[in-house]
Structure 1
Amino acid sequence: MFQDKKILLAVTGSIAAYKSILLTRLLVKAGAEVKIVMTPAARDFVSPLTLSTLSRNPVVMDLASNESWSNHVQLGRWADIMVIAPLSCNTLAKMAHGLCDNMLLATYLSATCPVVIAPAMDEDMWHHPTTKANLQKLESFGNKIIPVGRGELASGLYGDGRMAEPEAIVQFIQEHFFLKQDLAGKKALVTAGPTYEPIDPVRFIGNHSSGKMGLAIAEELAKRGASVHLVLGPSAVHTDIPGIKVHRVQTAEQMYEACMKEFATAGIAVMSAAVADYTPAVTEPEKIKKSSGSITVELTKTKDILKALGQEKRKGQLLVGFALETTNEKEYALGKLASKNADIIVLNSLNDEGAGFGYDTNKITIFERSGNEIPYERKPKQQVAHDIVDRIVNMLYAQ
């Protein structure tokens, strides 16, 4: 991901400094060469020895030590990107006004590379007008700001001000600085959300799909240069990312028709929608009135979109399906891979905590037609989408 990239990680005095340990590990694991500079206050929160061991480089803390001078100019010119995480309220104020009383600030002021900041502070400090003004100043200087999170804070309060998680910081860096346009010129078809099968003008058969996973995949494909056609069932999700054309549908039949139309000219198709398997045989024209007796609704099978696309698939097209299971997960996923003529099946289980409908996270296993089985840990859906698209790119260019 960051092979041969040079990343300068700057750590300030904040309780969130403990996250710099995992952030360092993730950056190194992604192939980056990492050097670290710390403020004197940061040493109270995280050990320089720990960061030095993980980064495989000495940690720089002082302008001078042992009668030698630390070359902040050289350090600021060495990096491809400088990441300040966490950025405390104190260091934020100093950066905004050009103060230079420690090695980190000297390096920042002499850096010729892009600078990314991940603020971390308590909620009242975060919302203070001075903080807002200082952030606006840094943004006007060209610095990129990673949004803070909302959650439990060091004060014990719950609110805004949490530093972004290390995984989110890595993703931000990649998307804004190192993301390859490896799908430029490709057309991708993505389905997302549920379908609603009407019983009468008021009632329908549906499911709890939010559309978040499919949207995340569509956005990841677009960020990598693909022209994306998103066939979206009834869902509250939306996107403003360029390169995505949204086709709104309600029923499984409408989704089928839209997919068959767009698949002919698509190189990639990702069927992540939770399409209803059955639809009422008859839709009543008027609302069914409540009565003392029971009612029977006859259901008929909907068209199998993934199977239909698999039958139409030509050489060079890549087809991805999803399998949401509760039992015999692997068996059903492999069966789907074969029977639908798919290239990839993404399995997620309702038995996994934090996975499935409605969550902002997911835990998947990818099965490929080559026989590869790749399990992943639970992650935010944006990062899951990144993993899925990585496998798509890998398979696409291996054909």
Structure 2
Amino acid sequence: MDPSPSSRLCIGLLSGTSVDAVEAVLCRVEGTGPQVRITLLAHISQPFSPEFTRRVLAADDARSLCELNFALGERFAEAALEVISRAGLRPEEVDVIGSHGQTVAHLPSSLSDTPSTLQLGEASVIAERTGIPVVSDFRTRDVAAGGQGAPLVPYLDWALFRKPGVARALQNFGGIGNVSVVSDRLEDTIAFDTGPGNMVLDGLARRVTQGRLQCDLDGSLSRQGRVIPDLLEELLTHPFLALPPPRSAGREGFGEALVTRIWERHGASRPYDVMATAVAFTVEATARAYERWLLPRFTLEAVYVSGGGTRNPVLMERLTERLAPLPVRPLDVLGLPEGAKEAVCFALLANEYLSGTPANVPSATGARRQVVLGKLTP
């Protein structure tokens, strides 16, 4: 394969920490590094059934993880073929698939004496079903180089959204919240996980509605409640929130164990108040991260927000109020649909792998050096 063609057709695939769907994009990627340009040709979201989501979240032994790896590979392959069809193309016209997979464990040095990370979604299955080379396992090389393996999106944020002479914050609310601040030079990029995103809200929403809703749909649950001050203060003592960047989080810190603890305290008697408190937890954790680590260092032009959290109007209203007068804007105003952003990242990372271009950001992950990310399955 030509290591430096003028352009490639690249697919990006991922399922985020919310474990709700496979996001797939097909992009034309031209060039590499600082000169890279990306044109989004198609974007789809293929939801998981509630039963499959529960299967992913419950997998905790070798057999279930082994089977899940291949089952996820089939889901990712289906999404890849669907996005190709949506773009009006044929599989043989596509150069590469970049698949992040589904994170089932993420254990940076703050959580383990053996830093490690594990994403499932067997690349061999995707390659076999589609006939397209697959680049996967993007986090592991950064971990091997002494980094957190996360976040990976800052490279995309810098490549696509930097503006000469200004600093911009790109905030994402997936299952976990994360931010990138990008300016002229890649090495000046700072990025880290701010804390909870939708994961706590989603887990509580399933309990409040006995599984009828998988999320706080349109803020319909949290809008009915009032914040429980002592619970909010307790949540804000979460040890992750005191860690300095570089830092990355996962279900280990903000998953089912935390949801259970919150629910057992107040859920049965004050379900909507618990939802309102979870929104406040996400907003306050995010704002405090800005106040401690970003605002003393940068004069930010604005915060551009993406991820599933942007579809929760209560979360966005509270965040806008809390960060004022700093403007909070949807990422879409910069020309990329917010729901496609993370999948576009993995299309870009696949292109950079084939180009031999290092794509981790050591100032964000803490890695000792820049490295080429990913593994190729022909």
TM-score (norm: length of structure 1): 0.27
- Larger RCO (alpha carbons 8 Å, 6+ apart): 2
Larger Rg: 1
